[in-house]
Amino acid sequence: MLDKTTNLASLLKDPGLLVERAYIGGAWVEGADGRFDVTNPARGDVIAQVADVSRAQVAEAISAAEAAQPGWAAMTGKERAGVMRKWYDLMIENAEDLALILTAEMGKPLAEARGEIAYGASYIEFFGEEAKRIYGETIPGHLRNTRLMVLKQPIGVVGAITPWNFPNAMIARKVAPALAAGCSFLSRPAAETPLSALAMAVLAERAGVPAGVFNVLPSTSASEVGKEFCENPAVRKLTFTGSTEVGRILLRQAADQVMKCSMELGGNAPFIVFDDADLDAAVEGAMMCKFRNNGQTCVCANRIYVQDGVYDAFAAKLAEAVRALKVGDGLEDGTEAGPLISDKAVEKVREHLADAEAKGGSVVVGGNPHDLGGTFWEPTLVTGVTQEMKVAREETFGPLAPLFRFKDEDEVIAMANDTIFGLASYFYAKDLSRVYKVAEALEYGIVGVNTGIISTELGPFGGIKQSGMGREGSHLGIEDYLEMKYVCLSV
């Protein structure tokens, strides 16, 4: 456990993975703006003081990335694949330390942190292999002496801004296709969770990723970093995961350079249980989908719709499962729900709960700050929820499961689609015609059918509407880091 006497380094097999300096152009440097505290959300203790880079240092890093990119792109895909495989191997060899660092700074249960490390590493492995498969095309010419070709080339220098909820995987999901394509990469991790990104850089350096190809820029001024990424002409692409609100700001800023952007933004996932569902499977799926990372993921079930005929049975089963969740310090064995990331996150849960109760909702389980204090909250189940409540329109991002009733397919499809978001959606049903009809009717980038977990490096993860643009993962995911060149050859 971490406390005022036991520091994080003492828990690690390799304390060299715990770095507090920024990584720019292959050098470990202090921040021109001093250092900032990183705290353990479970106990509030300061676990590190990390370099706070200035906008001028971001510009230096961009120059380093610009200088390094041609050499990295000139390597063959197979050569890049070899370096990325070594990076993957090192992430797996050091997985336990990476998981401890992740839980220490973000708070999620160690078991989930181990899962995230494996998940993040899987992108490095997958896209390392894809580096060998960046195919172009030849097209029969329109004239007898003409040949047409399509070349795929790296977009160039990539700026990335990522959130605290998956401090390893959200970076891996971006840096992997970028490096595989031959791009260079600048990572600005969330100020709450920079240590995981810095540990990734330690292993990248050991794996032989050339200086300047991967840079990590911890900073307390996200907006300054974002502006430098959007305004610096050497940056060719911006990739962001976070709120739709910040996504809008970045898109506006990127518009001046007509910069290519990938945006993985907020969600408001419906989780629908039809009367022909396997109820036990649906409860298990709802628990994983709602309470993974304590509800702090963009693909968590934000609204749970249950058809009238099975509503009471499902609610009773779900209540029993919610009550059984073990809340605690993420470093404690058996913990299933850790602290929320901040007081601001707790306030959002409290606000959504109060609004639901004020408009007729009933708290069946939980509903209060947890006895552990700090940012711990009791896993909460509310029934009698309606579309008029805030929880139906805004992303709660916490351990609050709201149950809505519905009569039939048409009603629930209309309610599920009644949102500006379109990232993930889920439903449980057995009837084949219902499965096809509902999967096609849901306006989301992702549909989970009879499952509450859709995340894999093999699938194209991403949203529609105001949940963003672009896809991360699958063979399709590398396209976001490539430019297409049409060559018209007269021979």
Ligand X SMILES: NC(=O)C1=CN([C@@H]2O[C@H](COP(=O)(O)OP(=O)(O)OC[C@H]3O[C@@H](n4cnc5c(N)ncnc54)[C@H](OP(=O)(O)O)[C@@H]3O)[C@@H](O)[C@H]2O)C=CC1
Q: Which residues are catalytic?
A: 264
Residue 455 near which of ligand LO4QSZO4, ligand X, none (CB within 5-8 Å, type-dependent): ligand LO4QSZO4
299 binds ligand LO4QSZO4 (CB under 6 A): yes
Alpha-carbon gap, residue 337 to 317, rounded angstroms: 19
Single out the segment in contact with ligand LO4QSZO4 by CB under 6 A; choices: 220-228, 295-303, 356-364, 413-421: 295-303
Please, which residue, 298 or 412, has the CB nearer to ligand LO4QSZO4? 298
| 472 DSSP assignment | B
Site string for ligand X, 227-246 (x = CB under 6 A): --------------xxx--x
Alpha-carbon gap, residue 311 to 216, rounded angstroms: 48
Of 40, 215, 294, 297, the one binding ligand LO4QSZO4 by CB under 6 A: 297
Please, which residue, 125 or 395, has the CB nearer to ligand X? 395
> Six-digit token pair at 178?
């970028």
164 binds ligand X (CB under 6 A): yes
Please, which residue, 57 or 302, has the CB nearer to ligand LO4QSZO4? 302
Alpha-carbon gap, residue 24 to 288, rounded angstroms: 38
Please, which residue, 158 or 172, has the CB nearer to ligand LO4QSZO4? 172
265 binds ligand X (CB under 6 A): yes
Instruction: Compute CA 147 distance to the chain's CA centroid, rounded to the nearest angstrom.
Output: 42
How many C-beta atoms surround the C-beta of residue 312 within 10 A? 12
Do residues 119 and 457 lie in contact, with contact meaning Cβ atoms separated by under 8 Å? yes
Residue 69 near which of ligand X, ligand LO4QSZO4, none (CB within 5-8 Å, type-dependent): none
Residue 381 near which of ligand X, ligand LO4QSZO4, none (CB within 5-8 Å, type-dependent): none
Bridge-partner residues for 435, per DSSP? none
Cα–Cα nearest to 15, from 76, 81, 97: 97
Please, which residue, 245 or 312, has the CB nearer to ligand LO4QSZO4? 245
Alpha-carbon gap, residue 342 to 294, rounded angstroms: 12
Residue 159 near which of ligand LO4QSZO4, ligand X, none (CB within 5-8 Å, type-dependent): none
192 binds ligand X (CB under 6 A): yes
Q: Kindly determine how many residues on this chain lie close enough to bind ligand X according to the rule CB under 6 A.
A: 23
166 binds ligand LO4QSZO4 (CB under 6 A): yes
Angle at the Cα of 1 from the Cα atoms of 295 and 373, rounded to 5 degrees: 50
Residue 243 near which of ligand LO4QSZO4, ligand X, none (CB within 5-8 Å, type-dependent): ligand X
For residue 273, with 0-12 CB atoms within 10 Å meaning exposed, 13-18 middle and 19 or more buried, which class applies?
A: buried
Single out the segment in contact with ligand X by CB under 6 A; choices: 6-14, 220-228, 374-382, 406-414: 220-228
List Cβ neighbours of 347 (8 Å cut-off, separation of 6 or more).
none
Cβ 444 to ligand LO4QSZO4 shortest distance, Å: 14
165 binds ligand LO4QSZO4 (CB under 6 A): yes
Alpha-carbon gap, residue 424 to 444, rounded angstroms: 6
Long-range CB pairs of 28-37, under 8 A, 24+ apart, other chains included = 29/57, 31/57, 31/218, 31/219, 32/56, 32/57, 33/219, 33/220, 33/221, 36/191, 36/218, 36/220
- Placement of tokens 């700074």 in the chain: 105
Do residues 72 and 213 lie in contact, with contact meaning Cβ atoms separated by under 8 Å? yes
The crossing angle, in degrees rounded to 10, of helices 195-207 and 169-181 is 30
Chain positions contacting ligand X, by CB under 6 A: 161-165, 190-192, 222-223, 226, 241-243, 246, 249-250, 264-266, 298, 395, 397
Chain positions contacting ligand LO4QSZO4, by CB under 6 A: 165-166, 169-170, 241, 297-299, 455, 461
